[in-house]
Amino acid sequence: MIDAPVAPKSPIRLTQLTRGQSARLDSTTLDSGEGEALRAMGLRPECELRVCKMGEPCIVSIGSKAGGCRIALAKRLADHLHVRPC
């Protein structure tokens, strides 16, 4: 018996994750200036992130453990980030 491929999970808002969950950034609904600022900090499409703290601010860790960083996001911004849980 061959297993059917697993369909990728549908995108959800970053704010729907809980502390410790990992996800990949799928898309945003931010204006171009805010989106550009987040990309400059490393939040780019398909980047893997982990929720360190949910709330105000929402803190996420991006990148590898050795070379990664943490970014604090206002809940207003985090609501506009759509991710696919890992």
Whether pTM exceeds 0.75: yes
CATH code for the domain of 76: 2.30.30.90
For 5-63, the pLDDT digits (tens) are 555 679 999 999 999 999 999 999 999 999 999 999 999 999 999 999 999 999 999 98
Question: Is residue 49 domain-resident?
Answer: yes
Q: Where are the alpha helices (DSSP H) in 1-86?
A: 32-40, 75-78
Q: Structural domain of residue 56, as residue ranges?
A: 12-85
Please count the other Cβ atoms lying within 10 Å of the Cβ belonging to residue 27: 13
Q: Is the pLDDT of residue 3 over 70?
A: no
Q: What is the pLDDT of residues 57-77, one digit of tens each?
A: 999 999 866 668 999 999 999
Within a domain: residue 81? yes
Number of domains in the chain: 1
Q: How close are the terminal C-alpha atoms of the chain, in Å? A: 26
